[in-house]
């Protein structure tokens, strides 16, 4: 008997494919303040999430809630302009549902982006960080009955971020003269920003940047064998209690928006080589 979850993934997938009449090969998830990349997609088919069977709608600030299919860097891409966050109250199955749909559509590569707080003291607001690994402090989206047809019960996470995509990203950044930092992304549930002690702790355990997204989607993508590349825009820097600064969600969006053109250029040129 077919798992009901697969029936739903396929219904969402078929709806999107019918609307766009093209076969995307690359999925893109655009993080907070990074939706601009979608404006560069040529001959786009724009599908609001609310039109797609079984899809949720996205409520977070800086997230529009559209699926955009079209040509970028010479490839057919499908970009999510806005993602679902666990802190919005969605279940982990809902947060990662779009990745299941990408798999059902035949997408083989996924590029994820986010705005993140810099923990590594050498990182500054506006920097781009290639995600080389992660530390997951959120509930795992694969908890529950495994869908054997899609992937294994115990997926490997040794190289969650595809090394050949990383190499392309590094070489492309060099060619374009864009400074690309590298590091480990720590994923927390949010919605609170970190206390100074938490920022310090995340640095001690090996984190370079921290955010409230991305890792659930990466885990689900790896489960079904999709290659992943991840990039963070550093939107704020970890600070201590005595520093005269606080975190603000709107500042995060403004900082991410400022770096969005740089990230879009980099993504477009990476896609040309995929």
Rule CB under 6 A: choose which of 96, 120, 235, 264 binds ligand HPA. 235
Nearer to ligand HPA, 7 or 205 (CB): 205
Q: Which stretch binds ligand HPA (CB under 6 A): 78-86, 99-107, 113-121, 142-150?
A: 113-121
As a whole number of Å, the CA-based R_g of the chain is 18
Rule CB under 6 A: choose which of 27, 70, 141, 211 binds ligand HPA. 211
Nearer to ligand HPA, 16 or 92 (CB): 92
Q: C-alpha dihedral over 69, 70, 73, 77, to 10 degrees?
A: 30
- Sign of the four-CA dihedral 71, 75, 76, 79: negative
Residue 256, classed as helix, strand or coil, is helix
Q: Which stretch binds ligand HPA (CB under 6 A): 72-80, 110-118, 167-175, 266-274?
A: 110-118
Task: Enumerate residues 162-191 that contact ligand HPA by CB under 6 A.
Answer: 190
Structure tokens at 183: 């590091």
Contact 170, 180 (CB under 8 A): yes
- In the complex, the smallest distance separating the C-beta of residue 260 from ligand HPA, rounded to whole angstroms, is 14
Q: Is 268 one of the binding residues for ligand HPA (CB under 6 A)?
A: no
Residue 90's nearest CA partner among 117, 115, 60, 52 is 60
Distances from the Cα of 3 to the Cαs of 91, 142, 150, 264, in angstroms?
A: 19, 15, 11, 38
150 C-beta neighbours (distance < 10 Å), count:
17
Strands (E), 122-214: 128-136, 180-187, 209-211
Q: Is 138 one of the binding residues for ligand HPA (CB under 6 A)?
A: no
Q: Is 231 one of the binding residues for ligand HPA (CB under 6 A)?
A: no
- In the complex, the smallest distance separating the C-beta of residue 81 from ligand HPA, rounded to whole angstroms, is 18
Residue 66, classed as helix, strand or coil, is strand
Q: Which stretch binds ligand HPA (CB under 6 A): 13-21, 112-120, 172-180, 263-271?
A: 112-120
- In the complex, the smallest distance separating the C-beta of residue 212 from ligand HPA, rounded to whole angstroms, is 5
Rule CB under 6 A: choose which of 92, 160, 210, 218 binds ligand HPA. 210
Q: Is 62 one of the binding residues for ligand HPA (CB under 6 A)?
A: no
Q: Is 86 one of the binding residues for ligand HPA (CB under 6 A)?
A: no
Cα separation, 146 vs 9, whole angstroms:
15
- Residues found near ligand HPA in the complex (CB under 6 A): 115-117, 190, 193-194, 210-212, 235-236, 247, 252
């Amino acid at each position: 008997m077919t798992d009901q979850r697969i029936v739903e993934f396929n219904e969402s997938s078929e709806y999107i494919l019918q609307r766009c009449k093209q076969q995307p090969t690359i999925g893109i998830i655009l993080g907070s303040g990074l939706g601009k990349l979608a404006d560069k997609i040529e001959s786009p088919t724009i599908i609001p999430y609310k039109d797609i069977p079984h899809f949720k709608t996205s409520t977070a600030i800086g997230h529009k809630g559209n699926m955009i299919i079209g040509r970028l860097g010479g490839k057919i891409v499908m970009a999510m302009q806005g993602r679902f966050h666990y802190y919005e109250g969605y279940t982990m199955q809902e947060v990662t549902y779009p990745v299941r749909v990408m798999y059902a559509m035949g997408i083989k590569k996924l590029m994820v982006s986010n705005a993140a707080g810099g923990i590594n003291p050498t990182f500054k607001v506006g920097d781009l960080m290639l995600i080389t690994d992660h530390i997951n402090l959120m509930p795992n989206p694969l908890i529950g009955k495994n869908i054997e047809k899609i992937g294994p019960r115990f997926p490997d996470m040794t190289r969650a971020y595809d090394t050949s995509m990383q190499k392309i990203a590094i070489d492309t950044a060099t060619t374009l003269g864009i400074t690309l930092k590298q590091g480990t992304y720590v994923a927390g549930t949010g919605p609170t920003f970190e206390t100074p002690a938490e920022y310090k702790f995340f640095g001690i355990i090996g984190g370079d940047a921290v955010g409230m997204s991305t890792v659930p989607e990466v885990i689900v993508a790896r489960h079904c064998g999709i290659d992943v590349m991840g990039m963070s825009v550093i939107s704020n820097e970890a600070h201590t209690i005595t520093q005269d600064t606080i975190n603000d969600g709107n500042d995060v969006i403004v900082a991410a928006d400022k770096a969005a053109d740089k990230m879009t250029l980099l993504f477009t040129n990476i896609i040309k080589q995929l």
